Amino acid sequence: MIGKAGLSKIGIGAWGLGGLAERNPENDDNKQIDAVCHSLQKGVNFLEINFWNSQGHSVEILRQAIKKSGVPHENLFLIQSIYNYNLETIKDIESEFHLALEKFETKQMDSLQFNLPSFKKFGFDNLVRLIERYLTENKIRYTSLTNSNLEHLKRCHKIFKDRLFSHELCFNFEVRVNEDLGISRYADGKNILNVPYQPLRRNRTAQRNWPLLVELAGKYGKSQNQIILNWIVSKGYLPLVKSENINHINENVSALEFKMEKEDLDRLNAFRVPSYKIPDIDWYLEGKGTKIHILPNEFDSLYPIN
- Express as a percent the part of the chain with pLDDT over 70: 100
What predicted TM-score, i.e. pTM, was given to this entire model?
Answer: 0.96
Polymer length in residues for the chain = 306
Contact 17, 52 (CB under 8 A): no
281: confidence class by pLDDT, cuts 50, 70, 90: very high
Best CA proximity match to 151, nearest among 116, 121, 179: 116
Q: What is the largest CA-CA distance in the chain?
A: 56
**97 within some domain:** yes
Whole-number Å distance between alpha carbons of 40 and 175: 29
Per-residue pLDDT at 232? 98
In degrees and rounded to multiples of 5, residue 39 shows phi and psi of -60, -45
**293 within some domain:** no
Q: What is the pLDDT of residues 41-95, one digit of tens each?
A: 999 999 999 999 999 999 999 999 999 999 999 999 999 999 988 899 999 999 9
Q: How many CB atoms lie within 10 A of CB 300?
A: 14
Best CA proximity match to 112, nearest among 85, 89, 143: 143
Best CA proximity match to 274, nearest among 198, 227, 210, 226: 210
Per-residue pLDDT at 141? 98
The whole domain housing 183 covers 4-270
Contact 62, 47 (CB under 8 A): yes
The number of domains in the chain is 1
Phi-psi region of 48 (alpha: psi -120 to 50; beta: other; left: phi over 0): beta
**196 within some domain:** yes
Q: Is 187 exposed, middle or buried (0-12, 13-18, 19+ CB in 10 A)?
A: buried
Whole-number Å distance between alpha carbons of 187 and 184: 5
**248 within some domain:** yes
**289 within some domain:** no
**211 within some domain:** yes
**286 within some domain:** no
Q: Strand 193-197 relative to strand 46-50: parallel, antiparallel, unpaired?
A: unpaired
Q: What is the CATH number of the domain that holds 218?
A: 3.20.20.100
Q: How many CB atoms lie within 10 A of CB 246?
A: 14
Contact 148, 246 (CB under 8 A): no
* 218 pLDDT above the threshold of 70: yes
306: confidence class by pLDDT, cuts 50, 70, 90: low
Contact 52, 85 (CB under 8 A): yes
Q: What is the pLDDT of residues 143-170, one digit of tens each?
A: 999 999 999 999 999 999 999 999 999 9
Contact 268, 234 (CB under 8 A): no
Determine the 3-state secondary structure of 170 from DSSP: strand
**111 within some domain:** yes
